[in-house]
Amino acid sequence: MEKDKLEILLEKYWKAETTLAEEKLIKAYLSKQAADESHTGDKDWFAAIQDFSEIGHDEVLFTIEQKNRKSVMLGYPVWLKIAAVTILVSGLTWLGVDYNQKLNTQLEIEALARRTAEESLMSMSNALNQAYQHLNEPTELPDNAVTEN
């Protein structure tokens, strides 16, 4: 694509006047461009889109087994039972959690703040001690070192 055409397309793009095909063209073109100084802002944005588009989901969240694939079809009544139990269990759990949360929210906030403060102090303490240890480690003096008495 020529540079002029890209400029025109980008102008149209930011005004939301491009078609899907034109937008795909811009994406394809900018993704092949070297990381030079031109269109840095545009490239940042399209790279962000590209990143998000790469998100997949490796786990299969929902599967249906079929009779004609020599596997057992998950029967409607059985499935219903499972779903009902799941909903019931999660519903009860949610109710319980929600009730407890109402009671404990304030206490949890305070406990969390305290825990963060403690973790932070410990992290600093560890770091400072490590620094101290390094400072106090005996180092061999070179042969020609002059020592003061």
Return the structure tokens found at 89.
């269990």
**Taking CB under 8 A as the rule, does residue 72 contact another protein?**
no
Return the structure tokens found at 1.
């694509």
**Taking CB under 8 A as the rule, does residue 16 contact another protein?**
yes
Is the CB of 71 or the CB of 149 nearer to another protein?
71
Closest C-alpha among 49, 3, 57 to residue 29: 3
Tell me, by CB under 8 A, how many residues bind another protein: 57
Q: What is the separation, in whole angstroms, between the first and last Cα of the chain?
A: 78
Return the structure tokens found at 2.
């020529």
Return the structure tokens found at 51.
């990143």
Candidate segments 1-9, 28-36, 119-127, 135-143, binder of another protein by CB under 8 A: 119-127
Which residues bind to another protein, rule: CB under 8 A? 13-16, 20, 23-24, 41-42, 44-45, 47-49, 51-57, 59-64, 66, 83, 98, 101-102, 105, 108-110, 112-132
